[in-house]
Amino acid sequence: MHSIIEHMAFSAKLNCIPITLFLLLAGGSFAQSEEITRSPDVKFAFYSSAWTADSDDGMRLVLFNKNNVAINLTAIVFQKIDQSSKTIKIELNKEIPPQGYATAELEYIDLLQGNDCIARTLTDGWKLTEISNHTLNPSVRNLIIEDTDSFRIYQCIENVRIFWSDPVSNERKESFEWAIFHFETI
């Protein structure tokens, strides 16, 4: 079973299987694996107007803590698919209240490098709208789009490592997740 998961993860990196299928199949299997630390149940989303306009605007990070206790999100590390690209570590040190939101304003960080899927999608005229660890796919979120010819969504993925700690005990933890690059076209 573990080799199937590894193959699926590798295939997803190469964009050989639909992202939704990968997430549905891998989600349950990874939760049962003892090798991977349980996710901190924090949802994150990066936004930047620099993706749609030639500007030096920074980035905004929105965080939601699904836990019943506060956590301190210390870093998100993007594991770039292209071996020649380095990982991108975003240091945060942001406390997120239980069942609550937190935001952070950041300098612009080029998260788009080192991924052929992202480069190809941008070249094809798609607009990057969000980078997050949850899906915006309408079929997954039970949304209905009546005219599917006028609105399309495309997604690329990357592996990320999430680092967090309990603000009371200061116990440090790490988990492996994905980041989804959400593109739209009208």
DSSP string, the chain: -HHHHHHHHHHHHTT-S-HHHHHHHHHHHHHH-SSSPPP--EEEEEE-GGGTSS----EEEEEEE-SSS-EEEEEEEEE-SSTTSPPEEEEEEEEE-TT-EEEEEE-----SSS-HHHHHHHHTT-EEEEEESS---TTTTT---S-TTS-EEEEEEEEEEEEEE-TTT--EEEEEEEEEEEEEE-
In whole angstroms, what is the distance from residue 113 CA to residue 81 CA?
Answer: 9
Residue partners of 4: CB distance under 8 A and separation at least 6: 29
Q: For 8-34, how does the pLDDT look when each residue is reduced to its tens digit (9 = 90+)? A: 444 444 443 344 434 433 443 333 333
CA-based nearest residue to 12, from 69, 79, 63: 79
Q: Beta 101-106 vs 127-132: how paired, if at all?
A: unpaired
What ranges do the domains of the chain cover? Answer: 1-36, 38-185
The string of pLDDT tens digits covering residues 29-63 is: 333 333 345 566 889 999 988 887 777 778 999 99
pTM: 0.71
Whether 146 has a pLDDT exceeding 80, the answer reads: no
**pLDDT confidence bin for 127, thresholds 50/70/90:** confident
